[in-house]
Amino acid sequence: HLTLKERLAELIPTEIEKVKAIRAEHGKKAFGPVTVDQLYGGMRGLPALIWDGSVLDPEDGIRFRGKSIDECKSLLPAAPGGSEPLPEGLFWLLLTGEIPSKEQVAELSRDWAARAEIPDFVKEIIDRCPPTLHPMSQFSMAVTALNHDSAFAKAYQDGVSKKEYWNYTFEDSMDLIAKLPNIAGRIYRNVFGDGKLPAIDNSKDYSANLATLLGFGDNEAFVELLRLYITIHTDHEGGNVSAHTGKLVGSALSDPFLAFGASLNGLAGPLHGLANQEVLLWLRKMQSQIGENATDDAVKSYVWSTLKGGQVVPGYGHAVLRKTDPRYTAQREFALKNLPNDPLFKLVGQIYDIVPSILLEAGKAKNPWPNVDAHSGVLLTHYGLHQMQFYTVLFGVSRAFGVAAQLIWDRALGAPLERPKSYSSEAIQKMFKDR
Ligand code: NMX
Ligand code: MLT
Is 204 part of a structural domain of the chain? no
240 pocket-lining for ligand 2 (C-beta < 6 Å) = yes
Is 187 part of a structural domain of the chain? no
Distance CA 299, CA 293 (A): 10
Ligand 1 atom closest to residue 44's alpha carbon, by position in its atom list: 29
Picking from 343, 395, 339, 340, the residue whose alpha carbon sits closest to that of residue 372 is 395
Is 312 part of a structural domain of the chain? yes
Distance CA 375, CA 332 (A): 7
Query: Span 58-70, mean pLDDT?
Result: 98
Q: Whose CA is nearest to atom 1 of ligand 2?
A: 236
What burial class does residue 17 get, using C-beta atoms within 10 Å of its C-beta: 0-12 exposed, 13-18 middle, 19+ buried? exposed
Distance CA 296, CA 67 (A): 37
Q: Report DSSP state, residue 149.
A: G
Distance CA 222, CA 130 (A): 28
Is 185 part of a structural domain of the chain? no
Distance CA 224, CA 222 (A): 5
Distance CA 81, CA 112 (A): 21
Q: Whose CA is nearest to atom 8 of ligand 2?
A: 240
Is 283 part of a structural domain of the chain? yes
Is 289 part of a structural domain of the chain? yes
The rounded mean pLDDT for the chain is: 98
- Say which CATH number the domain at 293 has: 1.10.230.10
**Coil/strand/helix, residue 193:** coil
Is 101 part of a structural domain of the chain? no
Domain of residue 328, residue span: 275-382
Tell me, in angstroms, the distance from the centre of ligand 1 to residue 366's CA.
Answer: 8
**pLDDT confidence of residue 1:** 86
Is 409 part of a structural domain of the chain? no
Distance CA 299, CA 290 (A): 8
Task: Report which residue type is found at 53.
Answer: G
Per-residue pLDDT of 234-284, as tens digits, reads 999 999 999 999 999 999 999 999 999 999 999 999 999 999 999 999 999
**Coil/strand/helix, residue 64:** strand
**pLDDT confidence of residue 435:** 85
Give the number of domains in the chain.
1
Query: Span 408-419, mean pLDDT?
Result: 98
β pairing state of 61-64 and 54-57: antiparallel
Tell me, in angstroms, the distance from the centre of ligand 2 to residue 371's CA.
Answer: 9
Per-residue pLDDT of 169-192, as tens digits, reads 999 999 999 999 999 999 999 999
Which residues are marked as active site? 272, 318, 373
Q: Report DSSP state, residue 129.
A: S
In this structure, the number of other CB atoms found within 10 A of the CB of residue 235 comes to 29
In this structure, the number of other CB atoms found within 10 A of the CB of residue 257 comes to 24
Distance CA 159, CA 164 (A): 10
Crossing angle of helices 87-96 and 206-214, in 10° steps, is 130
